[in-house]
Structure 1
Amino acid sequence: MSISATRVNEIPTYRDDGWCGLFLGRFTAGAVPPLLPALAGMVVTGVLVLAGLATLPGLTLFAPVIALLFAGVGSSSAHDGRLDWLVPPLLRVTEYLFIAALGLGAGVASPLVYALLGAIIFHHYDLVYRTRQGNRPPEWLTRAALGWDGRMLLIALAGLFDWLPFAYGVLAGYLWLLFAWESTTSWLATPRDGDKAVDLEEEAV
């Protein structure tokens, strides 16, 4: 069964690409299928996590980030392939896995790791929920939140200089403030129309 036009248009939004991913996508003009690069990034990250990501030396920290940046070349794709709906979940799993494994493996306090993951998960849920209700979050929000690629680059850079606890704490605080402020102001400014609301739990996939 083919993906509906509405769903196809929503998939690139669900990717949550930052500046790097969007920049790479401009070079391909939608010519690169998005699924295989995203899948490759997840596999590389998984292998490095099993090998002990936090103990790998120096620039190896960037290996999963570099692998995922290849997924950026697919950011300009129409995502109209039969399985292209899998791309956003693959990017989500890879980002969460990288942040959790690196933070916990490097001894970052678990509340900081969970606070950062919680902020990102909240953002992704909000992104999907509001988009399906026809109230898509503004593009500047994803840019301000750095995108999945920017967040991973920042965390990897902090790992190189042994600043992980500081980076996790500052990034978590920044993202929670950003998302809470934008979501609250947007909710207050949105006209209430119960007939147009979409219940994600009842909507057929």
Structure 2
Amino acid sequence: MVTDSHSVQGTPVDVRFLRDDGYFGEGLGRLVAGAVPPLLPVLSGALVVTTLLVAGLGQHSGITLFAPAAVLLLSGVASGHPHDGRFDWIVPPILRGTEYLFLLALGHGSGVPGPLVFALVAVVAVHHRDAICRTRCGARPPARTVRARLGWDGRMLFVALGGVLGWLPFAYGVLAGYLAVLLVWESWTSWLTTPVTTVALDPRNERGGVDASTT
């Protein structure tokens, strides 16, 4: 029997959580109530985005900066699907790779300083890794933190908006700084709220076993 989750190292994982959809993607998914299978829309969107970026590297300006993000955004219609297909586990990696490609290609082609591009991609990747590790442990980040990350759609649209306004380097820097602060803050608060297990000390015996005397 197929369920709505897959297994990662023995722990059930809901693939929809790993998609990292933002407000726009989730909103589109609610419109069709999970009726659209996810794989085909995501594959089509990723292919079109890659084509647009390769064909127009360094030539996107103004409103055309929104084209790749808008095309991939259409894959959000499948965000409400149970993702219980045999190959639906591929959807999150495709979305991850397409977002990284968009940020790298747009930054490089538009002359954004390399360190800013690297910083943004790196902090987004760390957020993705954090979500995977937490899911493996069965402890997802709080819903407010997930929403605060903006989702792949929100991040791509924010960067595109910065390009339209002529503030692309500024947008990269602000988004990288915001996500870094969010990651540090969320990690810190998570440590503070994690219960500490008290380890009881067993008495030792005189033969040097676990209950041996220390005096």
- Alignment TM-score > 0.5, same fold: yes
- The alpha carbon displacement at 1:54 in A equals 2.9
User: Unpaired segments of 5 or more residues in structure 2?
Assistant: 198-215
Q: Which amino acid aligns with 2:26?
A: L
Residues matched between the structures, number: 193
**1:145 positional shift:** 1.2
Would the aligned equivalents of 2:4 and 2:82 in 1 still touch at CA under 8 Å?
A: no
Residue 87 (structure 2) aligned to one of 72, 83, 86: 83
Alignment partner of 1:183 out of 180, 187, 191:
187
Q: In the aligned structure 2, how far is the partner of 1:141 from the partner of 1:2?
A: 30
Aligned mate of 2:25, from 21, 25, 32 = 21
CA distance in 2, matches of 1:81, 1:192: 39
Which residue number corresponds to residue 102 of structure 1?
106
1:42 and 2:31 correspond: no
Residue 111 to residue 57, structure 1, CA distance change in 2 (3 Å): closer
Stretches of structure 1 that go unaligned for 5 or more consecutive residues are: 194-205
Considering fraction of residues, name the structure with more helix.
Answer: 1
CA distance in 1, matches of 2:97, 2:189: 29
Pairs within 5 Å for 1:156-167: 156-167=160-171
Equivalent residue number for residue 75 of structure 2: 71
* Kept after mapping to 2: 8 A contact 1:69/1:149: yes
Letter in 1 for 2:18: Y
The 5 A counterparts of 1:192-203 are none
**Cα root mean square deviation, aligned:** 1.8
Query: Which is further off, 97-106 or 59-68?
Result: 59-68
Tell me if structure 2 keeps the 8 A contact 1:61–1:159.
yes
State the 1:129 CA deviation.
Answer: 0.4
The AA in structure 2 aligned to 1:76 is G
Query: How far off is 1:6 after superposition?
Result: 4.9
How far residue 69 of structure 1 moved from its aligned partner, in angstroms, is 1.0
Q: Secondary structure at the match of 1:102?
A: helix
Q: Does the Cα contact within 8 Å between 1:9 and 1:78 map onto a contact in 2? A: no
Mapped to 1, the partners of 2:54 and 2:65 lie a distance apart of: 13
- Summarize the Cα distance change of 1:34–1:188 in structure 2 as closer, same or farther, 3 Å threshold: same
The corresponding residue for 2:146 is 142
Deviations along 1:168-204, one digit per CA (max 9) or x if unpaired, are 01110010000111022213322367xxxxxxxxxxx
- Which of structures 1 and 2 has the bigger CA Rg? 2
Give me the TM-score of the superposition, normalised by structure 2.
Answer: 0.84
Give, as a single letter, the amino acid of the residue that structure 2 aligns with 1:113: V
CA contact (8 A) 1:17 1:142 kept: no
- Could you tell me which amino acid in structure 2 is paired with residue 104 of structure 1? H
| Shift in Å, 1:45 | 1.3
What residue is the counterpart of 1:171 in the other structure?
175
Give the SS at the match of 1:32.
coil
Q: Distance in 1 between matches of 2:5 and 2:112?
A: 43
Deviates more, 1:134-143 or 1:73-82: 134-143
Alpha-carbon distance between aligned partners in 2 of 1:107 and 1:187, rounded to the nearest angstrom: 39
